[in-house]
Amino acid sequence: MSTAASLPIGELAAATGVAVSALRHYDELHIITPVGRVGGKRRFAMDAIGRVNFIRRAQRFGFSLTEIRDMLDDTSGASQQLARDKIDVLRAQQAELATMIEILEEVVECGCQVVAECPRMDTCC
């Protein structure tokens, strides 16, 4: 790819909402890779935007950077098992979130001013 059709690191940061320092860190860990340099500055392919957005989303849900790199770049098929394992973890978290939402809805419905004194708290957990 020509570096002319690439993004400087600052533009990649602006497009993804990720700090330049984080992008440099991702580069050091080989999670993203520049297509070249212009004036000593990293340039990234346009598809790096999608990759960085996936990294951000996966991090929010508990993936380590190593797991993310392995999922993005694995050609052995091991990433499939990692994905299945993460699906199980995320489904368990989803169930816990649903329970917490129900508890909070009960507290709101009750109308108590002090949540710790809500009579529904005795039976909710």
Residue 33 lies in a domain: yes
Tell me: the pLDDT tens digits for 65-119?
A: 999 998 888 888 888 888 899 999 999 999 999 999 988 888 888 877 787 777 7
pLDDT of residue 4: 62
Query: Do residue 1 and residue 39 come from a single domain?
Result: yes
Q: What is the pTM of this model?
A: 0.73
List, as one string, the DSSP characters of 60-106.
Answer: HTT--HHHHHHHHH--SSHHHHHHHHHHHHHHHHHHHHHHHHHHHHH
Query: Do residue 57 and residue 91 come from a single domain?
Result: no
Query: Do residue 55 and residue 79 come from a single domain?
Result: no
Contacts of 103 (CB under 8 A, 6+ apart): 124, 125
